[in-house]
Chains A and B, each alone.
Chain A
Amino acid sequence: MPPEMPPETAPGNPPFPQPFDLSFDGRTIHARPGQSVGAALVEAGVVAWRTTRGEGRPRGLFCGIGVCYDCLITVDGRPDQRACLVPAADGMRLESGRTGRDTDARER
């Protein structure tokens, strides 16, 4: 007799997407599967996570679809990722930053 299937994978009982945690500058925020990193931040009340190179102005989501590069964020140590496109994942580490491209990070 095969082992009993765990309830979340049993046929006819599709897995209900469970919320999970990620961290933003050390603070815990919650996300649902399928949310982008940017969406999770906005739901947590965070609307800006970098400042501009020139005037030091706060920036977060603008175009929301990967066009404007305003929402750049460091994800698990990888800099300059578009928060609107990166799917949030359990345990992910997000870090705010000054701006994209003021380091040689992209040339690694």
Chain B
Amino acid sequence: MRGNADVTADVAVADVAVADVAVVGAGPAGMAAAVEAATAGLTVALVDAGERPGGQYWRHGPHDEGPLAGQHGRRTFAALRAGLVRTGTRTFFGHQVWLIARDADRFTLHLRPTHDGRGPGTRTLTARSLILCPGAYDRQLPVPGWDLPGVMAAGGVQALLKGSGTLAGRRAVVAGTGPFLLPVATGLAAAGAEIVMVCEANPLRGWLRDPGGALREPAKAVEGAQYAALLARHGIPYRTRTVVTEIRGEDRVRSVRIAPLDRDGRPRSGVRIEVDADLVALGWGFTPSLELPLMVGARTRLDTDGSLVAVVDARQRADVPGGPGVYLAGEATGVGGAALAVREGRLSGLAAAGDLGRTIDEGRMRRLQRAIRRGRRFAAALHTATPVPPGWTDWLDGSTLICRCEEVTYGDLCHAARELGAKDPRTLKMLARPGMGMCQGRVCGFATAQVAAALTGGSPSTPSADDLLPLARRPLATPVTLGEIAALGEES
């Protein structure tokens, strides 16, 4: 065991921490990865932008012991958190990794505080192996009025509730697609909000009733049944094949227009209702956060949900230049939920330990690999059941914002495609500037690629990995000051 020496060493050097493995992201995948790697004898540094472990899924307030009673995987969270303490894993919470550099045998991670009021400033972390578990965020399809205050990502509404105990509104419409709309709606209802409607764009054939009995994920069937019961208990209207086509208001959301979808996935004309609401929660599945995997050169592919994801082998190893040493777990390898993320996290931690010469239980690895394949099949079935409606661009008008940061409208993109001759997302981005603002295309990248595919004549208008890649590449993972970049030169 050489772990203790390293821990002592990194306490002695103020701003440079050294570990065998750096785990980035302390959600379900990252917590599991850190605990497994540390249990196998590695020194582990765990970094997360949040102030506490848990990530988005197990988000909780500072005075909560963990996720609230009834929240899925609560016991797993408690065990993993205890594991972090037991193994003496060094945590760097409230910090974001903005740059990763690799030289011959180590990775250097540059960290900055999540917000400027938090000490102790920038820090550097070096490690022999890297496990990236960056998670995902809500995928969005623009709709007229989605920039009005009171319109939020479904995950953001959930985060307010879980992390701050705050209701984002009193009268809510929850819309988009996928099973995640259900905990958002039932969570809001349980906290006292009125849910005017849950608008699910897809038919979700039997998902609530039996989300994959054939796929042998019994826990998911239980989850589905629980949500169905909660919807009924709170009297929440749940409409399938229904979408929000317009959000109205001047200074904030006042009302929402809702329409059924036709067989081609286009809103049926003339059949629209308008309901009053002060909150609209939107989610069209999830976009994996690929900034860090792309920064280290990870090879990517297009997943069944149309997301750009990173390729991993059977031991969660990324395909990167410079040889092995980078592992990925959780949503970055394909959106699949927390239970699958925990399995992938455990496997990546074991694999990293094995590759650094520790003795690991190969039988356990094989069991995890089987469970991961099962989870992937379930995720793929769910992706197939919850596509983005093929005709969604029909609800855009010329003044609808596509890029919220740079205020680029659908009309601007049409102009760039038709008048200026942009034939692909990259050219569209250069000419019309979607994705060039503060969020660096995180929010509009998927929609821009879809719009570009539709405008440039692709049919079916599904963007490829090559279309998505230029919208996902970010030279720095998070905005930094010029001073921080200048300091890099001084260090070396």
Contacts and interface: CB of A to CB of B under 8 A. Distances in A.
Interface of A: 17, 32-36, 38-40, 42-43, 47-48, 52-55, 57-70, 72, 75-76, 78, 81-82, 84-87, 89, 100-101, 106-108
Given A42-B166, A86-B115, 8 more contacts: A34-B61, A58-B251, A60-B149, A62-B443, A63-B156, A70-B405, A84-B159, A85-B114
Given A35-B164, A39-B160, A63-B138, A58 B152 contact: no
**Most chain A CB atoms below 10 A, which of B156, B158, B165, B251:** B156
Contacts of A32: 164-165
Contact of A106 (B152, B155, B407, B479): B479
**Chain B CB within 10 Å, residue with most, of A43, A47, A65, A66:** A65
Interface string B156-192: 1111100111111000000000000000000000000
B152 A62 contact: yes
A55 B117 contact: no
Interface of B: 49, 51, 56, 61-63, 114-117, 137-138, 147-153, 155-160, 163-168, 251-252, 289, 404-407, 437-439, 442-443, 479, 481-483
A67 B443 CA distance: 8
A34 B163 contact: yes
Given A34-B62, A78-B116, A69 B405 contact: yes
Contacts of A82: 114-115
A14 to B, nearest CB: 8
Chain B interface mostly:
loop
A17 B63 contact: yes
Contacts of B61: 34
26 contacts: A33-B62, A33-B63, A34-B63, A34-B165, A36-B160, A39-B163, A39-B164, A40-B164, A42-B166, A48-B149, A48-B252, A53-B407, A54-B407, A58-B149, A61-B149, A61-B156, A62-B151, A63-B152, A64-B159, A66-B114, A68-B443, A69-B405, A69-B479, A75-B115, A81-B117, A86-B117
Contacts of A63: 137-138, 152-153, 155-156, 443
Chain A contact residues: over half helix, strand or loop, or mixed? Answer: loop
A108 B147 CA distance: 30
Contacts of A85: 49, 114-115
Contact of A52 (B56, B157, B407): B407
A58 B153 contact: no
A43 B166 contact: yes
A34 B164 CA distance: 6
